[in-house]
Amino acid sequence: MFVSRELRKKNIAEYLLYMWQIEDLLRANELSIEKITSSIIEPYNLPDEQRKELQYWYENLIEMMNTEGVKEKGHLQINKNVLILLTDLHLRLLKSPKVPFYTAAYYKALPFIVEFRNKSNGREKNELENCFDVLYMVWMMKLQHRTINEETLTATAEITKFISMLSLYYIEEEEGRLDLESDEA
C-alpha cells in the first residue's frame, strides 16, 4: 500500500504492474487475510498504526476481488480504470500534433505489440493492455530468473520506451501541465 501510493504519484505504469503483482500475490495466498498477515505484513515489523492500515488495505483488496469475481484471474476494476485513463490519454496523444515523439515511439513499438497480441491470442484486449501484459510477463520471468530470448528483450525495450513516455504524459496531465490542443486555428 505504501509502495502503491508512491508509484501512483510517480509512475502510473509501474503502479499498474505493481497492482497486478498484488492481485497475484493475494491469489497465491488464497485470498486469505490470515496468510497475507503472517507471510507479508508481520515480517515487516511495522508500527501498529501502519500494520493496521496495511492489513485494512489488503482486506479491502481481497473483498473487491471476491465481489468482482477475479479470484482466479482478471484484474480489479480499480486497475481496469487506470488502463481506461491511460487508453484515453494515449488516443488523445496520438491525435495531437504537439507530441510527435510519442507518436513515433508508438509506431516503433506497434509491430511488437501486434506480434505479441497474435502470439498470445489477446485480440480482445486493447493495445495498451497487451503492452502491460508483455511488461508484466517479462517482469515475472526476471523475478523467476528465467531466460528471456533476445527478440523478447528487443520488443520489451521498445514497448517500455513507449509506455514510459505515456507515463510521463500522464503525470503532466495530472499536474495540469499537458496541453495537447493545436495552436493552429
Q: Are residues 86 and 162 in the same domain?
A: yes
pLDDT at 185: 44
Question: Rg for the chain (alpha carbons), in Å?
Answer: 18
Q: Are residues 95 and 158 in the same domain?
A: yes
pLDDT at 125: 82
> How many whole angstroms separate alpha carbon 87 and alpha carbon 184?
25
pLDDT at 184: 55
Mean pLDDT lowest for which of 50-64, 111-125, 128-142, 166-180?
111-125
Please check whether residue 107 lies inside any domain of the structure: yes
How much is the average pLDDT of 4-25?
Answer: 94
Please check whether residue 126 lies inside any domain of the structure: yes
C-alpha cell at position 101: 515523439
pTM, full prediction: 0.92
What is the number of structural domains in the chain? Answer: 2
Please check whether residue 185 lies inside any domain of the structure: no
> How many whole angstroms separate alpha carbon 126 and alpha carbon 106?
14
- 11 within 8 A of 174, measured Cβ to Cβ: no
Count of H helices and E strands in the chain? 8, 0
> How many whole angstroms separate alpha carbon 43 and alpha carbon 130?
35
> How many whole angstroms separate alpha carbon 21 and alpha carbon 17?
6
Apex CA 129: angle with CA 13 and CA 142, to 5°?
60
> How many whole angstroms separate alpha carbon 170 and alpha carbon 180?
12
Please check whether residue 35 lies inside any domain of the structure: yes
Q: Are residues 153 and 102 in the same domain?
A: yes
Residue where a domain stops, chosen among 47, 68, 89: 68
Q: Are residues 117 and 81 in the same domain?
A: yes
Taking alpha carbons only, the member of 91, 101, 126, 112 closest to residue 157 is: 112
- 29 within 8 A of 148, measured Cβ to Cβ: no
Residue where a domain stops, chosen among 12, 41, 68: 68
**How many Cα atoms sit within 13 Å of 125 on the Cβ side?**
21
> How many whole angstroms separate alpha carbon 96 and alpha carbon 21?
33
pLDDT at 123: 63
Taking alpha carbons only, the member of 78, 81, 42, 55 closest to residue 2 is: 55
Residue where a domain stops, chosen among 36, 51, 68: 68
C-alpha cell at position 27: 491469489
Range of the structural domain that residue 167 is part of? 77-174
Q: What is the pLDDT of residues 88-145, one digit of tens each?
A: 999 999 999 999 999 999 999 999 999 988 888 756 788 999 999 999 999 999 999 9
